[in-house]
Structure 1
Amino acid sequence: MRESRDFDTMFKEWYRPFFYFAYRYVKNEEVCRDIVSETFEVLWQNYDRITPSTAKSYLLSVLRARCVDYLRRQHVHDHYIQYIAELNDTFFEEGGMEEADRRVVMVRNGMEKLTPYNRHILEECYIHRKKYKEVAEDLGVSVAAVHKNIVKALRILRKELRQG
């Protein structure tokens, strides 16, 4: 495709049918407008490599893929929202706050029973989100030693939580 007039013609001719095609999947006008515009942007970016005879089928495949991608992301988003809602419902049920407070106290009691070295390793890995390798380098020990201390600390915490 050489002429920008060709692009303009395609845009004017295909925008509406592409919009309705996307709407069959997505069912949201604003999102459909964005997806169709992004699809034409792909055409513009690849303008010199696409022939007019293959442009429509190429754009329809791009459009379909973008609709499916949007639906996948929306599906994940919806599941996350549902999970958070269920989590909040469970947490705020009668006694939920008290149960959470009780568990926090039990974990703190368990942490107090750890040696300072075990507690430090556990905090670095679980609170500060460091990898075993990072903690091992910081302490000058092997990754296996960090792993061994984590296992030991978690065993003590599990025991404390079962007793509580």
Structure 2
Amino acid sequence: MDERFEFDDIFRLYYSQLFFFAMQYIGDENECDDIVSSAYEDAWRYFADIDRKAAQSWLFVNVKRKCLDWLRRQEHHRAYAKLHLHIAQRTTDDTDPLETKERMDRVARLLEQLPDNTRDIFTRCYVDGKKYREVAEELSISTETVKKHVVRALKMLRQGREKS
């Protein structure tokens, strides 16, 4: 049988099972779709080497690994954002209004120094409170690109704050 037909059969047979399996870990349909699609891309790349009898197991293990990797990345991003929020709150809790205004002005100046795309994405996520997925859909970019811009913005803001 032609490999394309075999692969197509495996795709149809397991896609929904893999999707719901990923949903148990992730809970976000778009992310799960990306993860399962990525697992199928890997399967296609290594299809000649995969034992057809073990294809189901191979796919489930691959999806599980990708889900766990995604969860680790999310935890890292959450911890990073939480730390910066904590620092911001700590520095504004016991200060007088003049210091707070000066600090806010300094942050505004630092934001202006960010590249336009990075500033726009950072503002949508942190000021407007949008999720990475929402911003990605609005701008027709991947959620990974949104994350990279946010991390870059946080790094630049932190470096700018340390200099001043």
TM-score (norm 1): 0.56
What are structure 1's unaligned runs of at least 5 residues?
102-164
Shift of 1:2: 5.2
Residue 88 of structure 2 aligns with which residue?
88
Alignment partner of 1:25 is 2:25: yes
Higher relative contact order (CA 8 A, sep 6+): 1
User: In the alignment, what sits opposite 2:122?
Assistant: none
Give unpaired runs (5+ residues) of structure 2: 103-164
Q: Write the deviation string for residues 8-37 of structure 1: whole angstroms up to 9, x where unpaired.
A: 111111111100000000111110000000
Letter aligned with residue 27 of structure 1: G
Q: Is the 8 A contact 1:23 1:29 kept in 2?
A: yes
Task: Report the number of matched residues.
Answer: 100
Partners of 1:83 and 1:16 in 2: how far apart?
38
User: Structure 2 counterpart of 1:43, which letter?
Assistant: A
Instruction: Map residues 10-159 of structure 1 onto 2, 5 A cutoff.
Output: 10-95=10-95, 98=99
CA distance in 1, matches of 2:42, 2:33: 14
Distance 1:9 1:36 in 2: 15
Q: Which amino acid aligns with 1:70?
A: W
Q: Distance in 2 between matches of 1:2 and 1:42?
A: 18
Alpha-carbon separation, structure 2, partners of 1:82 and 1:49: 43
Q: Deviations over 1:99-130 (max 9, x none)?
A: 9x9xxxxxxxxxxxxxxxxxxxxxxxxxxxxx
Identity of aligned residues (%): 31
Based on CA coordinates, which of the two structures has the bigger radius of gyration?
1
Q: Distance in 1 between matches of 2:52 and 2:21?
A: 20
1:22 alignment partner AA = A
TM-score by length of 2: 0.56
CA deviation map 1:67-86 (0-9, x unaligned): 00100111111111111111
